[in-house]
Amino acid sequence: MNIELSVVIPVYNEEQGLAALFARLYPALDRLDIAYEIVFVNDGSRDGSAAVLREQFQRRPDVTRVILFNGNFGQHMAIMAGFEQLRGRRVVTLDADLQNPPEEIGRLLAKMDEGHDYVGTIRRMRRDSAFRRIAGKSMNLVRERITRIRMTDQGCMLRAYSREIVEAINSCREINTYIPALAYTFAQYPVEIEVEHEERAAGESKYSLYQLIRLNFDLMTAFSLVPLQMYSLAGMLISLMSILFVGFLAVRRLLIGPEAEGVFTLFGIVFFLLGIALFGIGLLGEYVGRISQQVRERPRYLIQAVLERQDAAPALLRPAPAANEAESGAA
Ligand code: UDP
Ligand code: MG
């Protein structure tokens, strides 16, 4: 049987919200009247999410598959694992918290029928805190400037990709990445549509401020060297200025004599330069750290188990995940 649509959903501590998700997601997909599958990836939840997913698998084994990680590897790694296991011709990603209404999936697919291989989304009336909205907007601006990625709303995960794009993503061995942006770089006919956005059905956001900052660093460093280049340009400019300044002081000393005033102005300048230097070292660290993670070539994630129907053909060709953990991550 050819599966038309694979829906990939990362799940991390979403126990309370999952029932509501199932209640809307399955009817919405049944209504589309196509062969579909839903791939849940449990990203090492510490609550009962895994048990809830297993129950749901038993209820709808025909269309449900569950990948269980044995640790928390992050939302984007969870989606990656889903991408590597799915079988559908088209792929939609979705959050588990019902902030992306499953009823919109049909509209994404209709847009793909028009020949687009990537359907991005813009959240109409975004239901997040003002801080998240403003921070999101400003990160968007920076990203537009330093990468060639054009996304009106980078934060919304409700997106549709063609299988070709997903295969291209699968062939990337990136560890710190941002899937919508990575997919965009492979897209030939991307398009964006507006979708609804709702408040979280239950539970709370899994991203702290710290994690949001790290995620945005991933987005910048994985797709652009501009931050580093800007830094070296600034370094050049500053050294040029200091050469001029030293020249000026030398001439002044010869003509007017030594000077002792203005010491604190000098302090001010020194602290400013120190600040830039420290920022630059940190920025270098962001890149170097990612390089070192990448060269270690550890498996990006470890799968503990996959729940799927036994007659699922591609699964039989694959080595058992538990026996071959390192491979399932690095393959
Ligand atoms: N998520 C995940 N692993 C994580 C953090 C989040 O799989 O380490 C999942 C989470 O279960 C949800 C989605 O990623 O399905 C988006 O998370 P969340 O709603 O907390 O993010 P926000 O909407 O606040 O950006
Ligand atoms: Mg959310």
Please, which pLDDT band fits residue 231 given cuts at 50, 70 and 90? confident
15 lines ligand 1 (CB under 6 A): no
206 lines ligand 1 (CB under 6 A): yes
> Residue 327 pLDDT > 50, yes or no?
no
Residue ranges of alpha helices (H) inside the chain are 15-32, 49-59, 75-85, 105-113, 130-146, 163-170, 179-186, 209-223, 226-255, 263-296, 313-317, 325-330
Q: Which of left, alpha, beta for 3 (phi over 0: left; psi -120 to 50: alpha)?
A: beta
Q: Ligand 1 mean position to 252 CA, how many Å?
A: 61
Look up the pTM and report it: 0.83
Query: What is d(CA 94, CA 79) in angstroms, rounded to the nearest whole number?
Result: 9
> Residue 271 pLDDT > 90, yes or no?
no
Minimal-distance CA residue to ligand 1 atom 24: 205
- Window from 20-24, 64-68, 96-100, 296-300 with minimum mean pLDDT: 296-300
Task: Spell out the domain ranges in the chain.
Answer: 5-207+298-325, 226-296
Please, which pLDDT band fits residue 109 given cuts at 50, 70 and 90? very high
Residue of 95, 133, 178 best suited for mutating to test ligand 1, as the one with most atoms within 8 Å of CB: 95
| 136-to-77, 130, 153, 209 alpha-carbon distances in Å | 21, 10, 8, 12
Residue 111's Cβ-side half-sphere holds a number of Cα atoms within 13 Å equal to 24
Minimal-distance CA residue to ligand 1 atom 14: 75
12 lines ligand 1 (CB under 6 A): yes
Ligand 1 atom with minimal separation from the 99 CA: 23
> Residue 87 pLDDT > 50, yes or no?
yes
> Residue 248 pLDDT > 50, yes or no?
yes
43 lines ligand 1 (CB under 6 A): yes
List pLDDT tens digits, range 181-208. Answer: 999 999 999 999 999 998 888 888 888 8
- In the 8-state DSSP scheme, what is residue 46? S
Q: What is the C-alpha radius of gyration for the chain, rounded to an integer number of angstroms? A: 25
Mean pLDDT (the chain, rounded): 88
Minimal-distance CA residue to ligand 1 atom 13: 95
Closest-approaching ligand to the CA atom of 99: 2
pLDDT at 253: 86
pLDDT at 171: 94
Residue of 8, 12, 79, 153 best suited for mutating to test ligand 1, as the one with most atoms within 8 Å of CB: 12
Q: Ligand 1 mean position to 326 CA, how many Å?
A: 25
| 89-to-14, 80, 165 alpha-carbon distances in Å | 28, 16, 11
Minimal-distance CA residue to ligand 1 atom 23: 205
Which architecture does CATH list for 5-207+298-325?
Alpha-Beta Complex (3.90)
Please, which pLDDT band fits residue 316 given cuts at 50, 70 and 90? very low
pLDDT at 312: 54
pLDDT at 329: 41
42 lines ligand 1 (CB under 6 A): no
On whether the CB atoms of residues 159 and 92 are closer than 8 A, the answer is yes
Q: Ligand 1 mean position to 209 CA, how many Å?
A: 13
Query: What is d(CA 98, CA 199) in angstroms, rounded to the nearest whole number?
Result: 8
